[in-house]
Amino acid sequence: MSEQRESVHGLWSSRWVFILAATGSAVGLGNIWKFPYIAGENGGGAFVLIYLLCIAVIGVPIMMAEILMGRRGRSTPINTLRHLCGEAKAHPAWQIIGWSGMLAGFLILSFYSVIAGWALSYILDSISGTFYDATAEQVGKNFSDLLASPGTLIFWHTAFMIMTMVVVARGVKNGLEKAVRILMPALLILLLVMVGYAMSMGEFMRGVEFLFKPDFGRITANGVLIAMGHAFFTLSLGMGAIMIYGAYLPNNVSIAKTSIIIALADTFVALLAGLAIFPIVFSNGLEPGAGPGLIFQTLPIAFGQMPGGIVFGTLFFILLTFAAWTSSISIIEPVITWLVENKNMSRTRACTIAGGLTWLAGLGTVLSFNVTADVKLFDKTFFDLVDYLASNIMLPLGGLLMSIFVVWVLPKVITAEELNIGQGAGFKLWFFLLKFVAPIAVIIIFLNVIGII
C-alpha cells in the first residue's frame, strides 16, 4: 500500500529547514502579543497550566496527524483530503476540513495583518526615540493615539499585507528558508535580553508567580476554551497550514521528533515573552488584563529606561514583525495553493486576489478599534468576534475532525507507514492521545462552554 506521492510545489531542502519554517509559522504574534494578553485577561497561572496541558496532549498529537496527512497527500489541504479519502475509500465530505481551514485562515490573516501593522508602526516610533524616557502614561497615550486613527492603521495593515503577498507570490520556499535561519535565533536572543532586563526589576518574582502559580478560582469555562483555542492558534493547527507545510516534507524525516521540537520551541518563546512582560506590568502599576494592547503598552516603557533602549526597541519590533511575517505566509498558503491547483492561477494572481479580499476583511478589525468600537455582538467587537470564532471554534473543530479522520478513517497501515516509528509504545501513546484524549477534551470543553455540562 505504499503510495507516497510527489508535491508539485517542491520539497523543503532538509528536515532542518522544515523545522525552521514550521517554527516560523508557529512562533508569531500568538506567542509574543496574544499569549501574554490572554493569560493576563484570564488570571495567569491556572490558564497557563491548562494551555501547556493542551499543547502536550492535544496539540502535539494533532500536529503529528496534520503533518502526516499533508505528507501523504502532497497538495493543498482540500486536494490532500480528496486524495486520502480515495486511498481510504471514504466519503469525500471529509474535504470540509480543507474548506473550513481556508475560511479560518482568511479570517485569521485579516486581523493578524492589522496587529502586525502595529508592530511595523512601533519600529518607526522606536527609531525616532518616542519611547525614550517615556512614562507609562505617555506610552499608553501613544498606543491609544495609534488605535484612534483608522488612516494610520490602514496604512500599516496595507504595508504588512503587501509584504506577506510578495513573499507568498514568490513561493514559500524561496526566501522564507533564508529568512527564518537568521531571524528566529535573533528573536530568541532578544527575548532573553528582555527577560534579563525584567529580572533586574523589583517585581520579577511577582511576574513569575502570576504566570506559574495556578489559582483555579480565576479560571472560567470560557477561559479553558480560550486556552485550548490558543494551543491550536499558537501551533498553527487545525486549518491546514501545517498540513501544507507537511506536504513539502521529504519522506525520510521523523514526523514525531520534528513535531515535539516545534512545540517545545513555540512554548519556550511564549513563556519567555510572558516572563519579559509581566514584571514590567507589575513594576509600573499596570493592569495584566489590559487586553490586546498589553505588549505595546508595556515593553516600550522598558525600552525607554534601559541602556541602548532605542537600539533594542527598534530591533525588537523589527523581529516581531518578522515573526508575524513568517506566520502570515503560512496562514494564507493553503488558499494560494488551492487557487493554483484548482483554478489554474499563477501564484501572483492568486496572491493578488486572496490578499485583496483578506485586506478588505481586515478593515473591519481596523474600525473595531475606533469608529465601531462600541458596536458589539455577544459583547464582542468585530475583531474579538472574528478572533473568537476562528481561533477558539474553527481551529479546535478542524483539529477534532482531523483526529477523527486519522484515527477512524485512514487505514492504520498508512498512518504507521507515514509516521515510521514502528508500532511500539510511542505509536500506541500517540494513537491513544489522538483517539481518546484530544477529541474528548475538545468536545468536553465545547459542551462546557455552551453550558451543556
Residues 376-405 close enough to bind ligand PFF by CB under 6 A? none
User: In angstroms, what CA-CA distances link 21 with 79, 158, 183, 255, 382?
Assistant: 22, 24, 11, 14, 31
Closest to ligand PFF by CB, 24 vs 304, is: 24
DSSP assigned state of 380: B
- Residue 116 binds ligand PFF, judged by CB under 6 A: no
- Residue 191 binds ligand PFF, judged by CB under 6 A: no
Pattern 229-248, ligand PFF, x by CB under 6 A: ----xx-x--x-x-------
Dump the DSSP string for 309-377.
Answer: HHHHHHHHHHHHHHHHHHHHHHHHHHHHHHHHHHH---HHHHHHHHHHHHHHHHHHHHHHTTTTTT--B
Among 65, 108, 191, 367, binds ligand PFF (CB under 6 A): 108
Q: What angle, 0 to 180 degrees and rounded to 10, lies between the N-to-C axes of helices 77-88 and 96-127?
A: 150
Shortest distance, position 25 Cβ to ligand PFF, whole Å: 5
Shortest distance, position 35 Cβ to ligand PFF, whole Å: 8
Among 19, 26, 62, 336, binds ligand PFF (CB under 6 A): 26
Query: What is the C-alpha separation between 264 and 178, in angstroms, rounded?
Result: 22
Closest to ligand PFF by CB, 236 vs 368, is: 236
Among 330, 358, 381, 392, binds ligand PFF (CB under 6 A): 330
Give me the count of residues in the chain.
453
- Residue 24 binds ligand PFF, judged by CB under 6 A: no
Is 430 within 8 Å of 61 (Cβ atoms)? yes
Among 79, 126, 327, 381, binds ligand PFF (CB under 6 A): 327
DSSP assigned state of 410: S
DSSP assigned state of 171: -
Shortest distance, position 133 Cβ to ligand PFF, whole Å: 31
Q: What is the largest CA-CA distance in the chain?
A: 66
Is 216 within 8 Å of 49 (Cβ atoms)? no
The site for ligand PFF, by CB under 6 A, has a size of: 16
- Residue 320 binds ligand PFF, judged by CB under 6 A: no
Shortest distance, position 329 Cβ to ligand PFF, whole Å: 9
Residues 29-48 close enough to bind ligand PFF by CB under 6 A? 29-31
- Smallest Cα–Cα separation from 101: which of 362, 331, 442? 331
- List interacting residues with ligand PFF (CB under 6 A): 25-26, 28-31, 105, 108, 233-234, 236, 239, 241, 327, 330-331
